[in-house]
Amino acid sequence: MKYSLFQNITILFSGLIVLFIIAPLFSMFIQTGKSEFLEIIVDEDVLNSIWLTLSTAFMTTIIFAFFSIPFAYLMARNDFPFKGVLQGIIDLPVVIPHSAAGIALLGFVSRDSALGKFANLFGLDFIGSSLGIGIAMAFVSLPFFVNAARDGFYNVPRRLEQAAYTLGASPFRTFITISLPLAWRNILSGFIMMFARGMSEFGAVVIVAYHPMITPVLIYEYFGAFGLKYARPVSVIFVTISLLVFIILRSLSKDRDIVRA
């Protein structure tokens, strides 16, 4: 097959972009010695950190996604004053430095804040706890879910919802039986992106809850204390596990699309 000059340039540029992403990861994997890897993979601190990271990111995503779905539907189906401003607020955590996000959250959930004092009545503490980690993860990753779910609801034909209303269905029943199933692909995609972004967060988490250490913080700790030799194997393990989890979630999404087809 003969390609035009434009197609050849497109393929070349695409290859360079893919190489730019793959090369550092491949280099990290091949530079990690077997003995270093085996030593780290049985390290209890590393295993506990990975479990804390995955479980906290997953539970945080489930909780915040549940409350965000109605909001995403509202944004997709309604026009109101200052909607653009509200959309900008939603996207704000993506564009601000995550260290600044951590500082903002620290003042909001500290023990001296109104929320911190209220939580203390129930024996809860956001600073240096999995609760604080979850809030920091959610703050920086929630826009990915809201935007994906909003786009999903926006693509649902309004005529189907109007037909349901005409047949006597309530708004809630219409949402559950028509809008939500048709937007599910985007919602699941947003869930995956929010989960992936949450478990990779460092800047906001390290300010709100340095301990207990999630894996990105542990990697930084190992690099500062022991150097590249010990930080690299932890990175390899975490990247591998993250990739496996991402593939599994994507596979579930693909399987669901096949069933729907």
Which pLDDT belongs to residue 1? 64
The answer to whether residues 236 and 28 touch, using CB atoms and an 8 Å cutoff, is yes
* 8 Å CB contact between 74 and 178: no
What's the CA gap between 197 and 199, in Å, rounded?
Answer: 6
* 170 CB-side CA count, 13 A: 3
Q: What confidence score (pLDDT) does residue 260 get?
A: 45
Q: What is the residue-wise DSSP string for 126-166?
A: -TTSHHHHHHHHHHHHHHHHHHHHHHHHHTS-HHHHHHHHH
CA angle 223, 220, 116 (to 5 degrees): 150
The domains of the chain are located at 58-212, 215-261
The pLDDT of residue 259: 40
Question: What span, in angstroms and rounded, lies between the C-alpha atoms of 77 and 150?
Answer: 9
Instruction: Note the CATH number of domain 58-212.
Output: 1.10.3720.10
What is the reported pLDDT for 255? 53
Give the chain's residues under pLDDT 50: 258-261
Return the pLDDT at 41.
85
